[in-house]
Structure 1
Amino acid sequence: MSRGHVSVCKLCRNRAMILSNPIILRSRQRGTIMNIRTQLTFRYIGIVLLVLLAMYFYLATVLKDSMSSHITSELEIQATLTREFLIEELPTEDNFTYALIDPLVDKLGRANNARVTFIDLEGVVWGDTERDGQALREMDNHLTRPEVQDAIKKGSGIRDRYSNTTQTEFRYFALPIHSNVGSETAGTLIGICRVALPMAAVNTAIGKLRQMALIASVAGLILVIVFSVFSTGAITKPIEKLTQVTQSLAAGNISSRVPVDSSNELGQLSHNFNLMADRIQEQIDTISEEHRRSETILKNMGEGVLLVNGVSEITYANPTAISMLELPDDYIGKALIEINRIPELQALLKKAEQTETIAFAEIQLGNLREPEAEVTVVPVSAGQEYVIVIHDVTKERQLERIRADFVANVSHELRTPLTTIRGYAETLLGENSVRTKTGEQFIVKILNHAARLTSLVSDLLELSRLELGEVELKRSPCDLNTFHAPILDVFEPLLEESGLVLKWEVPEKFPRVNVDRQLFMQIFVNLIDNAIKYTPDGGAIIVSAEICSGEGTEGAEIDSEEILLRVEDTGIGIPMESQSRVFERFYRVDEGRAREMGGTGLGLAIAKHIVLSHNGRIWLESTLGQGSVFYIALPR
């Protein structure tokens, strides 16, 4: 692809980038999002609420445990005092009566503001502050009560349980009573005293403590809410200003800037944002200027330029392209195939899409026989867009046809007088009237030059026919080895005279090639003739062929579906600066040697056009002093 095509692709990429710049485009999507001030406030409240809840439950648990422990201690003290009092006042075990014991128990209950019960070793309740008279005598046996069993076995017993007697939940504390006041362990166990407090009172006290903790937590939460509202306001105010400026920038007001009121992190952020906005302003100005220049260049280009998206819809076309393809006014957004039905153009675009590489071809835009446009398709934006560059070559093709016609006409005009001159010279040479040595030399020179001019005219005519496409290929499957004998017949005298060796190294069972046999013979003749002229005596010329393996050479990249032919010599080689021109007409690396050997300077040009007419490629590799290798690649 030419440099001009590369520049066009860059212009189109710049234009696409400018049109899709998010800073230039206005924001079309607006969401309802909770602002940062509200978010911070709720986060502060959430954190404090979690802390307060944790503290509340922790304090409630601690207070409950503390209150429970306190009540247990109080019960233990009351039970101890009650036991001591009963030891002093109780009659002997044989003299237990309800009339004596129940009044003592009632008195102790009133004094301690608690339920007091006295139980003997058989489990009989002799006194209880909650029962009197017949109700006392009918109370259940208490020997199996857990706290009573613990008092007998362990020395004390405490339980929280539901009382079947009073239908109330109590905390009980029981102690054993011994007959010997001075030493409990040495005395005789005569009964159990039990002191109890209703759990309702305990729960009420704990509930009051929890209520106080809850009130304190709510008060703290209210203070935190007030504090967070004011503190987050101070933090988010600069952010809100920054948000307003960014919205203004998104709306297209590039001159908006954020006021810098502090030197903290938010102040630094605002300062940096303003610097960024300045840089963006500069970049937008630069891009806008580049866009203006690109538009000017594209509008005034002599080449047509189109930009299509991934679904072949036209997104841009310069005036030249609009004129070439006769696009309607509403071409933007329409598929290329709907507007201009050129199969070759569609195929070229499809090739670029499939290979994701640059595609090039000559196509016919009008009704002319020759292609009148060179089209290049370049993938851009990772295959999402394609730049199509159309170069009108109608005038160039016309000039080429005029030149070829001129050469053909001149060649035809020269052939007749040259034939006449040659005929007269041969006649003079054969007559006895001209037998002087000088006259004979002149006639020989006339014949040689006439023969050379005749050969030149023949080559010019052949080249013109090839360039004009007037040569009809008569393809047939040909065995390359069948070319060996005819070529050897042509060059054997010259090879023997020069002391050269022609090596034919084409494999015996090499696949046949589908070519025009006569034209392909001309390729071999021209290449071998060229090799003989530039190979010193004693050298070698090697003809070989192989099926490509996909590995390239220095001169070209080889397709694995091609047949590669080589004509190699051990001659003087070709300088690097001349290698790209050897296939031009009349170009000679060594003018003197070429003229001395009788060359016309058209042999390699003819070989090139014959190869091109077979959809093949020809190139060379050469090293000075070592020789040259001419490659021909043909599709299988």
Structure 2
Amino acid sequence: MRRTSIFLKSWVLLTFLTVTIMTLMYIGHAIISVNSIEDTYNKLLQEKVTALKDAIMSDPEGYLTQANAAQSFDPELSYYIKIADQSRFVIQNPELQGQSELLLENILMNDQILDAIDSNVDDFSRITIKDEENNPLLLMVFVHKFELQGQSGMLVIGYDLDEFQTYQLNAKSITLLLLTVYLMGTIIYYQHLIRNVAEPLGIMTDIAFKYSRNDFSKRITFESYDEISGLGTAMNKLGKTLQATMLMNREERELLNHLFDSLPSGILYFDQNFQLKLVNGPGQDFLDFWRRVDPDAAAKVMPHQFKEMVQYAFKTTSGSEADLSWSQRHYNVKVTPVIQADLKKITGVLIVLQDVTNERQLDIIRGDFITNVSHDLRTPLQMIKGYSEAIIDNIAESNDEKIEMAQIILDETTEMNKMVNNLLDLSRMQAGYVDLNRQNVDLADFFDHLASRFENSFKEAAIQFTYELADGIKTYAFDEEKMNQVFYNLIDNAVRYSAEIGTRRQKFIHITVRLEDMLDKVVFEISDNGIGIQVESLPFIFERFYKNDKSRTYSKQKGTGIGLSIVKTIVEVHDGEIEVHSEPGVGTTFLVRLPFHNV
């Protein structure tokens, strides 16, 4: 809608009313005044004309012949007398005396005068004639016909109404002047209103709209103090208060949003129409996950399990809790109705869901760990017990047999000690108790030493071990002992999970060291063509106690499932990262990325 100015409309209305009133007053005054003045003036003129008529008719022949007979009358008077064939026209106004013949002709040829002459009745007429300059000349004319000694005569007396006409023109001019002055005054008044009222109000209106858009950069300034400036001062204070309040609200809102989004649990709020009105980060992550795994999600606003719980909440005004699963992910879901206390009405439902997949997985992993450790400890303990009893009972007769049994006991004890040390190392590193002894290590010597440790294992499994160092990367600064543990675990896993002999043309374990310029990283790539890792196990292989072959069906597999967890921890304390790519039946590749600046 188009914006209009109330002051412009007020000014136009005020001006229109004033002009209308003045016009009506002028018309009324003119009608009354002019009529009254004209009547009085006409009576006075008629008296003068009648006096001149009486004077002339007392001696018509004298006025016909005497040149100065009418000098005692007003100069505005003129007369024309005619008796038989003699006539005389007398004009006393010196300005018109040179136009006597023209004026007389114009008077006698006037229609009103001709009518008056024909009527034979004394008559006063007001006529307008033209002078020699074609200017209008207003006259009051009296026509009187008479007989003198049997001869017909005619007397025409004229009175110049120039003064009366001047009066009317002056009256009109004064009225127009007053009207003009008034209009100028109203324009000045309008400009005053614009400058002192409309413009400040316009500025305050614009600033108020800026306030509504949370823009408090403008303030109102005034040169004087009046009601408008008082309103502006109040608006300035209001703006400051709103700005302070907005800042506080923004800080509180940002804090609440931060707290809301930082909650580990997903939060979803649905209104009575089952429309999603509020969701935090974890809640949105769940919805994205659900839409990926549910082919019918596009036609739904929420999972059907949620809808049943929400409908129950609306129906009973009570909450509910359930454990739900989607595509191997597990969630604890709580639905709580939101009740408006004053109306005692449910306005919506709040769904709080927590991803408990890791907890469930950890429970499974802990159970597997207990089983694995029990199995891995029971077998060597039984062997230690059996060989110890054999030595005590002198079952081993020869010294060589006793030494062989003692060696087996030592090997099993060493394996158990290694298992316990690994557990202690992992706990210590994950607690932050890690001291790194960084030194420049010759990588060729480092990998040659590792190859020598696995020489027998490589021969037994028919595995070809190779490594390749990129140009410019011959040494690297890391903790040699701990990184030896990393690559030992990775190579050991590759050996234990290698394919059966005969299933590959050539089984291999290959290590490549190269530079990634884009990421400014040094990459250690350990690849093999073993049995690979199951797809569902890939997200969990770096978890403590997790084992890829839970059934323990693969004969070469031993250990507690903490080797890769130790590997990941050591890599991370070196400011690096590790990832794995694997395809069952094809092979596995581990990528260890360490900062380039340590080269």
- TM-score, with normalisation over the residues of structure 2? 0.36
Identify the structure with bigger relative contact order (alpha carbons < 8 Å, sequence gap 6+): 1
Please identify which structure carries the higher strand content: 2
**Which protein is bigger by CA-based radius of gyration?**
2
TM-score (structure 1 length as normaliser): 0.34
